[in-house]
């Protein structure tokens, strides 16, 4: 959330951000309701001042044994009017809050201006694309041949958009999770958390999923709880309504969770196999940092995610997202995309974002720079470290052999009983 005073004083910057992000916030209505709020506040404060002054007069009249009934009757009316105004003020402030929740974050000046994905900019690439002397199979074909994917039974269990690894495929997925958590906790300094996969409405509002993306979420209506779309939600809310000590920062957290999203694809586009799914596993990275270091922390966050792909030997590229492809809440974002030989495409496996104080303001997460200093909002960042489905796609497709087997990346072998190749069973 942006500060209302900032919006008021920088309306042109905010309007430009709304336009460049393709959002639909109504600043004119916001300013109108803000003016009403300020007028109500002024009237309430004036009446309260009159009431306080008159109360002193009444007390003095009573002390002097004089008649105060007229003033008391007047103050009864004043108190009634204050009560009415307070009620109006609460309604206006609720309206203001609702509008404020539709105003997106301001893109960082380094973010390229653009309309959508086609305007994202590749800033670096790593690794060589696989050179296969045969026509590579897509992962859904090879996975079912080797009995490591069971897509038909997943559909039977839960419907379209759901997938299932099985046997050595499930072992491969578990190996990836443990490998990534070990790297992030032992090498990169993140604290592992195993959070709930249900979150309350306040948590979803704090991170910016609500109200904008409520339709995309799986909701348990009876309890007003949401299946998390990413571990960003519980991890960012760990310190909601807290004042952190400056010496505690930066704080790094990581978590493995299932993630749930109702809108998994764009009207049938790229929906085969593991490409776009409603439920998937992911290792998430979240940082709470001091404001002055947040963009340096974003660069190191990207490097942490990149190292996973490098250790796996997966070629990838890093793209900085343009304004039109930037999320509602982010100030700046990098996407990491692995190349997969079977589908001959780059596939996003991580988005690393700096939200600056946007989420922290919603969640009321602050730090005190000095022991007696006024608290200020921290900056929050998150990124996938990394998401499983498309990483699995790249491993299956890039490391396949002409014999129809899959070479297991060396770093995963200790997690798989030293299995070095996945071939036909039996």
Our answer to whether residue 261 is catalytic in this structure is yes
> Catalytic residue among 276, 319, 362, 366, which?
276
- C-beta atoms surrounding 183 within 10 Å: 19
Catalytic residue flag (residue 351): yes
Domain encompassing residue 12: 4-100
- The string of DSSP letters for 190-257 reads PEE----SEEEHHHHHHHT-TTTTGGGS-EETTTTEEE-SSTHHHHHGGGTT-EEEGGG-SEEEEEEE
Pick the last residue of a domain from 54, 73, 100.
100
Please check whether residues 76 and 192 belong to one and the same domain: no
pLDDT digits (tens, 9 = 90+) for 90-126: 999 999 999 999 999 999 999 999 999 999 999 999 9
Q: What is the pLDDT of residue 37?
A: 95
Q: Are residues 340 and 268 in the same domain?
A: yes
Active site residue 327: no
- Would 410 be classed as within a structural domain? yes
Catalytic residue (choose from 74, 88, 91, 348): 348
Which is the catalytic residue, given 264, 351, 353, 384?
351
The CA distance from 8 to 3, in Å, is 9
pTM for the model: 0.92
37, 168, 261, 319: which one is catalytic? 261
Contacts of 53 (CB under 8 A, 6+ apart): none
* 312 located within any domain: yes
CA-based radius of gyration for the chain? 27
pLDDT (0 to 100) of residue 269: 60
Say yes or no: 354 and 312 in one domain: yes
Q: Where are the alpha helices (DSSP H) in 280-364?
A: 294-312, 358-363
Residue 107 lies in a domain: no
Is 272 one of the catalytic residues? no
Give the model's confidence band at 206: pLDDT under 50 very low, under 70 low, under 90 confident, else very high.
very high
Would 111 be classed as within a structural domain?
no
Q: In sequence order, what are the beta bridge partners of 379? A: 289
Cα–Cα distance for residue pair 42/186, rounded to 1 Å: 56
Residues 63 and 131 placed together within one structural domain of the fold: no
Instruction: Give the tens place of pLDDT for each residue, 58-94.
Output: 888 888 888 888 888 888 888 999 999 999 999 999 9
Catalytic residue among 168, 362, 366, 390: 390
Active site residue 348: yes
């Amino acid at each position: 959330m942006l500060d209302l005073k900032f919006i008021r004083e920088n309306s042109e910057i905010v309007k430009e951000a709304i336009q460049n992000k393709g959002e639909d916030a109504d600043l004119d209505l916001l300013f109108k309701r803000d003016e009403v709020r300020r007028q109500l506040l002024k009237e309430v404060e004036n009446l309260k001042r009159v009431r306080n002054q008159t109360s002193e007069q009444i007390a003095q009249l009573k002390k002097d044994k004089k008649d105060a009934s007229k003033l008391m009757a007047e103050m009864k009316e004043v108190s009634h009017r204050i009560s009415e105004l307070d009620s109006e003020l609460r309604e206006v402030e609720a309206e203001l809050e609702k509008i404020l929740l539709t105003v997106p974050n301001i893109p960082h000046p380094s973010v390229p201006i653009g309309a959508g994905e086609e305007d994202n900019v590749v800033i670096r690439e790593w690794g060589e694309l696989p050179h296969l002397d045969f026509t590579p199979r897509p992962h859904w074909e090879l996975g079912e041949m080797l009995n490591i994917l069971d897509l038909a039974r997943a559909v039977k269990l839960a419907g379209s958009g759901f997938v299932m690894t099985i046997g050595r495929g499930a072992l491969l997925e578990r190996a990836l999770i443990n490998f990534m958590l070990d790297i992030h906790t032992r090498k990169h300094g993140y604290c592992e958390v195993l959070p709930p996969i249900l979150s309350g409405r306040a948590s979803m509002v704090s991170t910016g999923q609500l109200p904008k993306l409520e339709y995309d979420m799986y909701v348990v209506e009876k309890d007003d709880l949401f299946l998390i779309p990413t571990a960003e939600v519980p991890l960012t809310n760990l310190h909601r309504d807290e004042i952190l000590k400056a010496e505690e920062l930066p704080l790094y957290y990581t978590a493995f969770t299932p993630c749930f999203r109702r809108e998994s694809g764009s009207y049938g586009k790229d929906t085969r196999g593991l490409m776009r799914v409603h439920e998937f596993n992911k290792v998430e990275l979240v940082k709470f940092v001091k404001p002055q270091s947040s963009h340096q922390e974003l660069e190191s966050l990207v490097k942490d995610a990149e190292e996973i792909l490098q250790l796996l030997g997966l070629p990838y590229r890093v793209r900085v997202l343009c304004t039109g492809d930037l999320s509602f809440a982010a100030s700046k974002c990098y996407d990491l995309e692995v190349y997969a030989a079977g589908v001959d495409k780059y596939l996003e496996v991580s988005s690393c974002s700096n939200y600056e104080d946007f989420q922290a303001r919603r969640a009321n997460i602050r730090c005190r720079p000095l022991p007696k200093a006024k608290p200020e909002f921290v900056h929050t960042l998150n990124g996938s470290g990394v998401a499983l489905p498309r990483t699995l796609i790249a491993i299956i497709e890039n490391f396949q052999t002409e014999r129809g087997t899959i070479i297991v990346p060396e770093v995963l072998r200790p997690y798989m009983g030293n299995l070095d190749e996945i071939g036909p069973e039996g």
